Structure 1
Amino acid sequence: MDLGEFFSSGDSWAQPWVLDVALIESVRFGPLADRTDLDMAIALTKLLYEDFVSYGTDGTGMRLNDESAVLVVKAHGAVLERLALEVPQWPFRTFDGPHGFGLYWRKNGMSGGGGWQARRECVEGILGPTRHALEEWEELEYESRFKKGPTGSFKNLIFAADGEKPEIVLRDAVNNNVEIVRNARTCLVYSDPLPPHGLAWRQLVAWWTRNHQPDADEKTAASTLYRRLHKSLDSPPEQLLMHTYCARYAEPDGFDLPALIPQVYLHYDPYTRRSGKQSGALHRQRMDFLLLAPDRSRIVIEVDGVQHYGRENPPDDKGRVTYTADTRLYSQMVA
């Protein structure tokens, strides 16, 4: 959250910041409709830290005064209580006066040489534990978005086509069964159950051995599978990425890393045949690389050329072609 959202512009150079008291009081007495308590706790912690450090050092850039600081401290404590986090114990709540930070640091030996650093450390001692707790919470919340994984059950992977693209039909719409009706020989299809820890290189090699090279040992099968996957790539940057990642398989426990799966079909759009165009109702049918990581997480890696984020300009007088960055084109690709 931008800290400026807590304020409105003042009416003079001497008062450039006016606290939105109604907003702060709303935060104090309950969660906002459009902001989580976690967001508000992070923003209020940052505001208090910056203003008290500023007051204790150069005094520039302060947004709060004694009256508004008291309101923010109260709102900050209320939000932390709702989050079941420990509320900081403030030995002061204002900047000046008998209960202010100024008198506190003078009484506690934070004046004179090294005073600025001592005052920073004082504020850090009060708000540091809160900030660290909020950062950990924020990180866990961020990770939880990916640990849930996509809904639905794993059916199959169609990947690594080394020739003409496979043509896919929905053979049974009731059970969502797909079938490759043309060019099945050019691609690989993995349909074994997906282990809880994701699809590691070891599991993919075992699948390859059972279905394509039953008499080979693990090392030989892994080497053959790698060459087959590499064959599906015709882009030097993609080849470099795969070579660099797969080199880690040779390290201790490397076979337990998530398998890097190239050229995976995300969906098939039958309207492309009818229209004769690159994409119909569904765009970007095939992803460059896929990792099926633990906790049902999917990690997609795209290695994109300039055509995905720039528009070609007419050749110059020497025949050279340049591109102009196009944010709309890039955002469409990312979406």
Structure 2
Amino acid sequence: MSWLLQAEDAVGTVAGGGVRGRYGVLQQWGRGGEPWVLDVGLVESLRFGPPEGHADLDVAVALTRLLYDDFVAHGTDGQGRHLDDENVPLVMKAHRAVLERLALEAPAWPFRTFDGPRGFGTYWRNNDMRGSWQARRDCIEQILGPARDALEGLQELEYERLFTKGPSGSFKNLIFAADGAKPQIVLRDAVNNDVEIVRHADACLVYTDPLPPQGLTWRQMVAWWMKNHQPGTDEKVAASSLYRRLYRSLDSVPEQLLMRSYCARYAEEGGLDLPALIPQVYLHYDPYTRRSGKQTGALHRQRMDFLLLAPDQSRIVIEVDGVQHYSRKNLPDNTGRITWTAVPRLYSEMVAEDRRLRLAGYEIYRFGGWELTEPGGEKILESFFTELLDRHKKPAV
């Protein structure tokens, strides 16, 4: 029989004999569609380590699901159980061993079997759960819920380790905050990937200092501004001047609200050492544009609305989407009213570019311009930035 570990509903799944089950490496399916039977030898071996090719986390999730489903089934209509009084203690022991290897607290079982003096049935009759299936479900949730939640947390960390490997490539420069004509950029040296702004360089800012391991803070941005644009001034004056310069590059009221909401944190204790919020960052430049100014379709987003280079080496993109991101403006009607028509292609191009950036290691968050202009928009931003900064704090040494 061949075994294939897959993911299904956050549970390791084994497909054997062409039939897919729910409980990972724990089950075997008989030929001809016979019901599955517990591999007792395998379960006993789990107390000493996971089976070859599988991880303790997958096994723990499968055991938790199996115990949860079977005890809930026994406490309700009695249908759908896979275990019996002889093998359920074996599963409990294996479950405890696997959780302990994961440094998680194992559940304290007040019963050891389904029936009999030490069974679940006796327990619910002695604890006022005779007439309530829900009370019995709640009992199992109280016992196994903490372990399940802890395992889900480990799965999330594992997902991040697998799929959030950080951005590809190395930092070379930032071209950002254009407050006039769009800069025209050429690749001056293809070997070293050096770019040069050949027109409208005075309308944008270019940061070329080395990027420190802890990301790019507001204090470092201010120091760069003082060195290159306001030599001889003090930090407070330079910070105010740089903020005003960045603010001028913003295109819309929602973007302005977002920047004000974040940058207010710079004035708080430790605020200078927060990641700098960098607006209007040129991600790439497509020189192949038609005379009309429309893109060829090769690159659908040339710049990000905002970028944070966080202490944990994450590159965080924040986008504020106006109606132009997913629709086209119509000509005014006979009353002068302006309307918009949804264009699925625009939306598809936007999400396709999001996928590309995520695969390159960027973290992307989107706000609808409408939600930021409604009452409560500022509160939405404050809560978001509090959670975001907490998530991307400098890793503990």
Aligned in 2, Cα 1:21/1:177: closer, same or farther, shift over 3 Å? Answer: closer
User: 1:181 corresponds to which residue?
Assistant: 198
* Pairing 1:49–2:68 present: yes
Q: 1:251 matched to which residue of 2?
A: 268
Which consecutive residues of structure 2, in runs of 5 or more, have no partner in the other structure?
1-7, 29-37, 43-49, 356-397
1:244, distance to aligned residue in structure 2 (A): 1.1
Q: Go from structure 1 to structure 2 and tell me whether the alpha carbon gap of 1:4 and 1:133 turns closer, same or farther (over 3 Å shift).
A: closer
Q: 1:271 to 1:72 in 2, by over 3 A?
A: farther
**Contact 1:198-1:292 at 8 Å conserved across structures:** yes
The residue number in structure 2 matching 1:2 is 9
* Correspondence 1:28-177 to 2 at 5 A: 38=57, 41-42=60-61, 44-46=63-65, 48-49=67-68, 51-53=70-72, 55-56=74-75, 59=76, 63-67=80-84, 74=91, 77=94, 81=98, 84-85=101-102, 95-96=114-115, 100-106=119-125, 109-111=126-128, 123-124=140-141, 126-144=143-161, 148-177=165-194
- For 1:299, the equivalent position in structure 2 comes to 316
Partners of 2:182 and 2:274 in 1: CA distance: 28
Structure 1 SS opposite 2:306: strand
Match of 1:219 in 2: 236
Q: Secondary structure at the match of 1:189?
A: strand
> Which residue matches 1:332?
352
Aligned residues of 2:188 and 2:194 also touching (Cα < 8 A): yes
User: How far apart are the structure 1 equivalents of 2:292 and 2:59?
Assistant: 50
TM-score in terms of structure 1 length: 0.75
Moved more, 77-86 or 260-269: 77-86
Note if contact 1:199-1:258 (Cα within 8 Å) is conserved in structure 2: yes
Q: Distance in 1 between matches of 2:290 and 2:297?
A: 9
Deviates more, 1:252-261 or 1:265-274: 265-274
**Are the aligned partners of 2:107 and 2:143 in contact in 1 as well (CA < 8 Å)?**
yes
- For residues 264-314 of structure 1, give each alpha carbon's deviation from its aligned partner in whole angstroms, at most 9, with x where no partner exists: 011112222689522442220100000000121100000011232356689
Structure 1, unpaired ranges of 5+:
9-17
Amino acid of the residue matched to residue 25 of structure 1? Q
Q: Which has the higher helix share?
A: 1
SS of 2:289's partner is helix
Shift of 1:80: 7.1
Aligned to 2:307: 290
Distance across 2 between alignment mates of 1:2 and 1:124? 18
Counterpart CA distance in 2 for 1:65 and 1:119 is 18
CA deviations 1:184-226 (Å, max 9, x no partner) are: 1111011111111110111100100110001211111011100
* Structure 2 Cα separation of the partners of residues 22 and 234 of structure 1: 52
Q: Is 1:228 aligned to 2:245, yes or no? A: yes
User: Structure 1's 114 and 257: CA in aligned 2 closer, same or farther, altered over 3 A?
Assistant: farther
- The answer to whether the aligner puts 1:209 opposite 2:219 as a matched pair is no
- Aligned residue pairs: how many? 321
1:25 and 2:35 aligned? no
1:75, distance to aligned residue in structure 2 (A): 10
Q: Corresponding residue for 2:358?
A: none
| Residue 95 (structure 1) shift | 3.4
Confirm or deny that 1:194 pairs with 2:211.
Answer: yes
Cα gap change, 1:83 to 1:317, in 2 (>3 Å): farther
Structure 1 pair 188/311, CA: closer, same or farther in 2 (3 Å)?
A: closer
* SS state at 1:49 partner: helix
| Percentage of pairs with the same residue | 61
Call closer, same or farther: CA 1:312–1:332 in 2, change over 3 Å: farther
Three-state SS of the structure 2 residue aligned to 1:163 is coil
Question: What TM-score results when the alignment is normalised by the length of structure 2?
Answer: 0.65
Q: Which has the higher contact order (CA 8 A, sep 6+)?
A: 1
